[in-house]
Amino acid sequence: MADTTDIRKGFKIVLDGQPYVFVDHQFVKPGKGQAFVRSKLRNMITGNILERTFKSGEKLDKADTEDRNMQYLYAEGNSRVFMDTQNYEQVTITDEQLGETVYYLLDNTEVDVVFFEGRPIGVTPPTFVTLEVTETEPGFKGDTTSNVTKPATLETGLAIQVPLFVEVGEKLKIDTRTGEYVERVKG
């Protein structure tokens, strides 16, 4: 049995028979009272967000999920298609189910697809992904006050803040836990 000390972004539990993944959590302590973990979870079947407050130390039912390595093929409408490279079986997962992990999917790359009771419900992104910059202002022009970062859009549509010296076409290492810039990838 897991408990609230196991909670981190990406941790999966079963609530009322449904698989949920933690997308956000916060330690709260009301005055001089008992501690809680105020959480946001995504239902991995419907994609709906649930807000729930757990008592510190409360037991949690860890979701019994299985990760299968599959190839991401392409987007189809509001869904994404993946293929098992062993048996060529294809599965489809909706963007709602994937949440922010859609920003870490690159055509024809391998990812871990999460199965719950035999059903594909999401993707476990690697901790770091490398994505190319498709849009950003040239760095050194104009406003150079105290701002050392500027907005940029990456090839998957992810919008982030990057240092001024980053240019279009450069590849960036992104931390999928925070969705933030780590560093440039050279070569």
Partner 1 sequence: MSAQIIEGRILGSSEEALLVHDGERIFQFESAPALGLGDLIRIEAEERSGTLHYLHHEILAETRVEPLSEGSESGRFIGRGVLQNLRARAALLRATRAFFDAQDFIEIEAPLIVPCPGLDVHLDPVGVDDGRFLITSPEHQLKRLLVGGARRIYSLGKVFRKEELGRLHEPEFTMLEWYRAYDDAEGVMRDTEALVELLARDLKGDAKIGGVDVSAPWERLRVDEAFERYAGMSVFDALRDEARYHQLMAEAIEPQLGKERPVFLTHYPIEMASLAAPDSSDPRFAMRFEAYIDGVEICNGFGELTDPDEQRARHERDRAIRAREGLAQPPLDEPFLRALEEGMPPSGGNALGFDRVVMLLLGAESIGDVIALPYSLR
Looking at 9, 11, 18, 36, which residue binds partner 1 (CB under 8 A)? 36
Q: How far is the CB of 36 from partner 1 (least distance, A)?
A: 5
37 CB-near residues (< 8 Å, 6+ apart): 4, 7, 25, 26, 27, 28, 53, 54, 56
Q: Which is nearer to partner 1, 87 or 147 (CB)?
A: 147
Looking at 77, 118, 147, 169, which residue binds partner 1 (CB under 8 A)? 147
* Residue given tokens 């560093």 in the structure block: 183
| Stretch of residues binding partner 1 (CB under 8 A), selected from 7-15, 21-29, 70-78, 89-97 | 21-29
Residue 27 makes contact with partner 1 by CB under 8 A: yes
| Burial label, 186 (beta-carbon count in 10 A; 0-12, 13-18, 19+) | exposed
Encoding tokens for residue 46?
A: 């419907």
Q: Which residues bind partner 1 (CB under 8 A)?
A: 26-36, 38, 53, 55, 139-140, 144-149, 163-165, 175, 180-184
